[in-house]
Structure 1
Amino acid sequence: MDPVSFNVGGKIFQVSRYLLKKHSETMLGTAASSGYSSPEPIFLDGDAAIFAQVLIYLRHGNITLPVTISKDMFIKELVYYDVAIGPGSVKSESEGRFMLIENQTRVLEKINENLSVLSKFDPCFQKIIKNLSVLSTFDQCYGSQFYSGYSEEGMGKLADDIHRKLHEHTK
């Protein structure tokens, strides 16, 4: 089937009529079903980067947005194009990173709490608590900007990088 062309933010997008007809209830689907066939692209007043993500959403029914695109702005664009939004179908990469950091913080707090109890009975644990205090200070100084480049699988590398950074700092 011949594609329908859209001009969004000065960028031309060619979209199959098949995809648009699957979403006939949307503003974009209406363009495909109206029999529009012109050599000129249909002008849409919007952001090209977000529109590209809208097309991905239409193709797959869900999306994980890159950190460069605001979830709120994306949802506003979906509403603008009359696209139905399924529960939990729009996620953001930044949400996952924030949750990872939040979980790490909770784990460190729990470990610190348990070690505080143990240190009352064993002097070796007092040394461990001092090291945890250093790690906590490191987290406060470097925080999410340091952790953001690490996935859950990369936590071993993160530990090595923290050790290296602390070693550099104490020289």
Structure 2
Amino acid sequence: MLDLNSSDDSSKRNSLKDPISLNVGGEIYTTTLDTLTRCRDSMLGAMFTGQIPTLRDNCGNIFIDRDGKVFRYILNYLRSGFLDLPDCFSELTLLRREADFFQIRPLLEEIRRYETSVPLGLRGGPLGAILIVKVDSKVRVLHFNLRHGPENYELRTCSVRAFTVDLFCTWRAFLALLCERFSYKTTQGLTSPNPCHPRQNRLKLEWVPRPDELPQEQYDKQNYRGLTVSSPEATWSDDIVNMQCSPCEITDMQGFVEELLKISLAEGFKVDLVTPDPTEILTCTSLRLVKS
């Protein structure tokens, strides 16, 4: 059973005494209040200065529902001020996501420096990880009425191209990264795709770009959605790194493959097989990459 302590209860805040025991995703850590509040403007700083309510498990440990194994590197950074990672560290993407969740900005900057200083093949993820991509597209013909007045309708015909991409990757964190970078464009705004079979390391993307001759109303009526990709760009001000993303719409399969290659090559993958023509990678029907 978890107990919720109100952040307005000053007596609860004052009752925090060293050492403090944490249960992070099932992993137990013991540390000090000074360490946890080292970055006052972080989420951890807010939790342990009483600005955010905390949960306790049935053993009295403060409970945080995040990845417990990666948290050790976050805690060690707060203790020492240094990012110490083992050789061939394979979960850099997950560590970056956790550091972003806890809003520890100095740690995010250290991760950025680590990424730029370590060779691509060692930036994270298991060596030998395989990414298999299969792409397909089909043309569909739509017939719709275009209204010009109360009783004036014109029958129109329009062709749309529907794209489908099936991805399989033995490194699940990479699929999670793709879900962060690619988004569906819908009437409700941008939404993130989810792995269709998270336990089977699979992700499926389906989208239909809207041609100019198809009215937005008819496009929405078909429940079509577009696909965008966001490329994070780092900007610096007062020694603080800010990550900004500018979504760009994917209008054809060549554009998707190009963006996918940018992301996968940056994470240490190398092209292993292209079908049907290795010299025409952007127009391939299937693609295999291996992390080496």
TM-score, length of structure 2 as denominator length: 0.29
| Larger fraction in strand | 2
Higher helix share: 1
